[in-house]
């Protein structure tokens, strides 16, 4: 029983430290890649419809 408890404890600590090292490594890699290969882009979101004409049958519209 005592041996099983120590094995489970070791596995839990390995998982905890492995997760911490994974998160830190992922953050460091992301920061490195953003500093050296960064590219910026601009986007314009169009969310307004312009309705053309007064015809109740044909609803033509375009985005501005």
- In which band, very low, low, confident or very high, does the pLDDT at 59 lie, cut at 50, 70 and 90? low
Dihedral in degrees, nearest 10, Cα atoms 8, 9, 11, 17? 160
The reply to whether the predicted model has a pTM over 0.85 is no
pLDDT tens profile 38-56: 677 788 777 666 666 665 6
The domains of the chain are located at: 2-63
Find all residues with CB under 8 Å of 59, minimum gap 6, and list them: 51
pLDDT tens profile 13-47: 999 999 999 999 999 998 888 887 667 778 877 76
Q: Cα–Cα distances in Å, from 51 out to 45, 47, 58, 59, 62? A: 18, 13, 10, 7, 7
């Amino acid at each position: 029983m005592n041996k099983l408890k120590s094995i489970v404890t070791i596995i839990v600590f390995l998982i905890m430290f492995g997760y911490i090292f994974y998160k830190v490594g992922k953050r460091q890699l992301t920061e490195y890649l953003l500093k050296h290969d960064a590219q910026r882009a601009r986007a314009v979101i169009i969310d307004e419809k312009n309705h053309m004409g007064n015809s109740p049958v044909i609803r033509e519209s375009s985005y501005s």
